[in-house]
A = this chain, B = another copy of it.
Amino acid sequence: MSDKTTPRAEARQRRRRRSDGERSRGAILAQATRLATVEGLQGLSIGRLADAVEMSKSGLYSHFGSKKELQLAAIETAEAIFADRVTDPAAGAASAQERLRRLVDGYLGYIAADTFPGGCFFASALAEVDMQPGPVRDRLVAFLADWVDGLARAVRDAQAEGSIGGDEDPDQLAFEIEASLFLANAQYVVMRTSQPLERARRAIDRRLDAISVR
């Protein structure tokens, strides 16, 4: 009896196929997120991506039924990368103020590491589609609102633990922190020097040091 015909071998083959499919989908999407920060999310057509990953258009259509589906899948992949690089490492901080500072470090590190060739995926993508209503824009707007809310939550928690003074408006402070990060990214993309990242760090450190209780 050939191994190929046993039920276990068949299951193994099915698993392998599924795993190849998953790996392939993951690799395609990783490439799609990078491409989107260079040529734009609108430039992320099935045809353009097929060239970039050297696959047939029909092969890509088997993964993604439409351009919109591909765009949403690319955003989901970028969110997972962002969590891996920025938000997850901060989650284990011993205090809320430490979490806030780790979010800042994580974001600046994610830019400095050229995680995406065109800088922050979300800043790049939202600037492009901010005037185009639909699920792609909605998802990006929600992601960025969550990010700023996460900064504000860390401020609020730091106030609760007593490490940041209680008279600061957490949403105002989160705006100011995000402002420095957001401009640092935009300037880094065109300058490709660490100067804007250092400016953002200096601005944020000075602001936080001035209001830290301990």
* Chain A residues near B (Cβ < 8 Å): 37-40, 42, 117-119, 123-124, 126-128, 130-131, 137, 141, 171-172, 175-176, 178-180, 182-184, 186, 189-190, 196, 199-200, 202-203
Contacts and interface: CB of A to CB of B under 8 A. Distances in A.
A176 B172 contact: no
Copies in the complex: 2
Contact of A172 (B117, B130, B199): B199
Contacts of A119: 130
Contacts of A186: 123, 126-127, 130, 182
A146 B80 CA distance: 37
Given A38-B131, A40-B128, A175 B190 contact: no
A203 B182 contact: no
A123 B123 CA distance: 11
A173 to B, nearest CB: 9
15 contacts: A37-B131, A38-B131, A123-B127, A124-B130, A126-B190, A130-B189, A130-B190, A131-B189, A172-B199, A175-B200, A176-B180, A176-B199, A176-B203, A179-B179, A179-B183
